[in-house]
Amino acid sequence: MDKILVHGGRRLRGSVRISGSKNSALPILAATLLTKEPCTITRVPDLSDIHYMLTILGELGCEVERASGMVQIRAEHVSTAAPYDIVRKMRASVCVLGPLLGRELEATVSLPGGCVIGDRPIDLHLRGFEALGATVRVAGGNVKVLAPKLRGARISLRSNFGSTVLGTGNVMMAAVLAEGETVIDGAAEEPEVVDLANFLNAMGAKIEGAGSRTITIQGVKELHGANHEVIPDRIEAGTFLVAGAISGDEVALQRIQPEHLRTVTEPLAEAGFEILSNGSQLTIRPGAQRRPLKISTMPYPGFPTDMQAQMCALLASTGGISVVTENVFPNRFMHVAELKRMGADIALQGPTAVITGVPKLSAAPVMASDLRASAALVLAGLQAEGVTEVNRVYHIDRGYESIDEKLNALGAQIERVKA
């Protein structure tokens, strides 16, 4: 098992190319199950979660070829059951349920269970499938969905914690081959949902309203193959913006979509950083003075929960008192205990972290608990005195393509070693 050693105090300068979005690529790869014709997906990031998804597609009978960010998939003959040994490694595996149900009218996938940031049930996915006419059975740790045929319906995906991105995509994929019209109310508005809808439309689907709270789908009889380029990863981009804020003299992000990052750039500007936009490039520079923030995570277009931990790392050494409230996953503060080991002054009050900025963090051995927490600890290490040892970095490899190499190219000193 690898660990990362971060030598603090190095200034960052230069440019970094942002990879394709993990959260877009996973459901898009699953959507290739909807057609027997070949599909080509480009700008697919090299991540462990992507590897697991491609392995699942292979187990389901797909022909998969991969080279240099390009994946070609042909799902001419498919099985309808995804094996537990692979599904258990990645929660997003549930996104094969929708396309298998849409194409074969049945699917069986192991339940993903919870994770360290709390229980993340798929009840909204299943509610959507039932509305389309499927029967849902849960037994032996598996969920099976079965339907004689799928018919369009009006479906609500609203919940107490906001919209479900995976659920919206899953139901959308099932509905594209259903008979008649499907209307999804309370749909997730994230750019990743729009990206999936664009791919499905390129395959011959008829989807309108993606990116809004209401998505309308006119069912078609079949889909065909298509080519598609995955959108830039806005969370990776946001993480590098925060890295530039923490330790940068001037850091430029290339191959991004600035409108997807406004929820991050606006708070950074409020905190005193200079943000320059030029086409598909964003540059962050230090301002005259860093200021504390009050942030509340919300579903898109609110501040993303996937950026909360990284922002905590920045605010830990920002003078004054900052307040961060987690409204999406209230238990998503596992990184706080590790930041406190590095000298951060953070008090948790239910779903809210009150952060009193300290002049400087100090290096310490820390443990990554999840994907975004691991990134936050690396960012904290950039500004800490000494060498920060981040353990369990397999988490970071789930969602960041070569983050250590990219930071080193900007001037950081990071080593990946065997634990």
Q: What token pair was written down for 85?
A: 């040994």
Cα–Cα distance, 384 to 380 (Å, whole number): 6
Catalytic entry in 39, 95, 115, 312: 115
Q: What token pair was written down for 160?
A: 């107490």
Amino acid letter for position 299: P
Q: How many CB atoms sit inside 10 A of residue 391's CB? A: 18
Are 414 and 379 in contact by the 8 Å Cβ rule? The answer is no
- 56: nearest Cα among 37, 38, 32, 23: 32
Are 111 and 100 in contact by the 8 Å Cβ rule? The answer is no
Sorted by sequence, the CB contacts under 8 Å of residue 213 that are 6+ apart come out as: 163, 185, 186, 187, 189
The full DSSP string for 160-176 is: TT---HHHHHHHHHHHT
Sorted by sequence, the CB contacts under 8 Å of residue 283 that are 6+ apart come out as: 250, 251, 252, 253, 275, 276, 277
**Is 312 one of the annotated active-site residues of the chain?**
no
Sorted by sequence, the CB contacts under 8 Å of residue 376 that are 6+ apart come out as: 309, 310, 312, 313, 335, 339
Cα–Cα distance, 257 to 246 (Å, whole number): 22
Question: Strands (DSSP E) along 258-395, which ranges?
Answer: 274-278, 281-285, 294-296, 321-325, 345-349, 352-356, 365-367, 387-391
Q: What token pair was written down for 233?
A: 């990863």
* Percentages of the chain per state (helix, strand, coil), in multiples of 5: 35, 30, 35
Catalytic site positions: 115
